[in-house]
Structure 1
Amino acid sequence: MKAEEVIRETSRILTKLFDVTATKDWANCTARADVVVDGRTILAEVPVTYLLFLEKQLVDLHTFVRKLPALDAAETWNYDASADCFATEPVQTLRTRKVPRNHVKAEATEKHPAQVEVYHEDVTVGYWRTVKFSGALPASRINELLDRLEKLQAAIKFAREDANGTEVEDRKVGERVLGYLFG
């Protein structure tokens, strides 16, 4: 094997790689598209590289929104402006305590003591009002955010595909770079 032949073959192979990469990178500088959601342009003339970045970020945002806490559907929630969160209607409960009481079954006589049975009676100790507070979101709000996010993801994917369809000019730089290097 001769070193000059290896250099020529390596140059031939690398020339194709350098040309394809240059063409792609130059095209990414000029390929642009608009991000349109529901007929409204959200972003105009966005470069492909930024569209790729947005696609990846929106995947993370989708996970974030899915993990947002939702209000318990078993409760009725209303927004409380003074607490700046959601609150339930007050629920009144009471607390009781068992108090022993005596029940005389038979009165005492000269010959027999009284027959008494001890039982426990529930006596109210106090009343409590419970209001639950939550900073979680209603499920409808989470679903709205997910719907908007999915629409934006679809619009960005469409814009990226549109930008990738841009006509490009083949760049021939590999021969010059490698010609200089090995020439």
Structure 2
Amino acid sequence: MAKLNQILAVEKGVKSDAQRKVTDAYHRIQKTPLLSGISRTYQPIDDEGEQLPPESTRVQVQAESVLKDVATALTKLFDVTATKDWANTQAKASVVVDGETLVEDAPVTYLLFLEKQLVDLHTFVAKLPTLDPADTWSYDDNAETWRTEPVRTTRTKKVPRNHVLAEATDKHPAQVQVFTEDVVVGYWTKVAFSGALPNRRVNELLARIQKVQDAVKYAREEANTWAVTDQEVGERLFRYLLA
């Protein structure tokens, strides 16, 4: 008895072969001369007249025969596809991760759906924003977000100062140079907040998704070893369709 994975392996080839044969059949019946024949004989008016050989063209394509060829090719395709689809309604397997069953007795079609969704989810999680590793972060339960430790910095202000280059005398005024000096006038205390995730959290999520992805693939492979029952629906269909 064949397995579902064996049917899947031959289905593509059967489908391609059927499509090719149907296309060939379509092209054959479009060639009108191949479906036409003729038989022509010549008889002179009297025995003295010129004798000409008979002419004939044989019919090379019989539409009824072409229909039979199409039916034969499609019958095999119909049967293989039916066998696969019938088996897909019965073939099941469970998704198990670390001994825990996450999805029980999932049909193959659902396992294929899960595979695609998990690929998309993996891509989404991999692009999640992460906290800047240059800072030290802790979770603030009150604000329900991540925050850094307070960082204190100074605020300065430029204050003009005078520098006496030469004292005043009775003959000359004092020589003074004006310059500015940065003077601390206050302090900033900065706390940064972020709604991003720690790198370790993203990596944990990706690892979990990968585990489920592997489990789904294992389950699909297990389901595909389901023993199939050959379905023979094509002959009955074409017995009616092309009768």
| Range class of TM-score, shorter chain | over 0.9
Per mean C-alpha deviation after superposition, the further-off stretch among 153-162 and 124-133 is 124-133
Structure 1 unaligned residues grouped into runs of 5+: none
Query: Which residue of structure 1 aligns with residue 78 of structure 2?
Result: 18
Aligned to 2:120, which of 45, 56, 60? 60
Measured against aligned partners, the alpha-carbon deviations of 1:37-91 in whole angstroms (never above 9, x if no partner) come to 1122111110000000000000000001101111111111111011100000111
How far apart, in 2, do the equivalents of 1:36 and 1:109 lie? 98
Structure-to-structure mapping, 1:83-162, within 5 angstroms: 83-162=143-222
Does 1:72 find its partner at 2:140? no
> Root-mean-square deviation (CA), in Å?
0.8
Measured against aligned partners, the alpha-carbon deviations of 1:100-131 in whole angstroms (never above 9, x if no partner) come to 11011211112222111122111123211110
How far apart, in 2, do the equivalents of 1:74 and 1:95 lie? 23
How much has 1:143 moved relative to structure 2? 0.7
Percentage identity across paired residues of the two chains: 64
Query: Which residue of structure 2 aligns with residue 29 of structure 1?
Result: 89
Query: Which residue of structure 1 aligns with residue 109 of structure 2?
Result: 49
Give aligned pairs, total: 183
**What is the TM-score normalised by the length of structure 2?**
0.74
How far apart, in 1, do the equivalents of 2:81 and 2:104 lie? 26
How far apart, in 2, do the equivalents of 1:126 and 1:3 lie? 99
Query: Which residue of structure 2 aligns with residue 82 of structure 1?
Result: 142
Aligned to 1:174, which of 201, 223, 234? 234
How far apart, in 2, do the equivalents of 1:77 and 1:178 lie? 71
How far apart, in 2, do the equivalents of 1:93 and 1:178 lie? 86
How much has 1:165 moved relative to structure 2? 0.5
The AA in structure 2 aligned to 1:23 is T
RCO higher in structure (CA 8 A, sep ≥6): 1
The AA in structure 1 aligned to 2:232 is K
Does 1:163 find its partner at 2:223? yes
What's the secondary structure of 1:30's corresponding residue?
Answer: coil
How far apart, in 2, do the equivalents of 1:182 and 1:153 lie? 47
After the TM superposition, which segments of 4 or more aligned residues of structure 1 sit over 2 Å from their partners?
none
**What is the TM-score normalised by the length of structure 1?**
0.97
How much has 1:23 moved relative to structure 2? 0.3
Structure 2 unaligned residues grouped into runs of 5+: 1-60
Aligned to 2:98, which of 38, 48, 60? 38
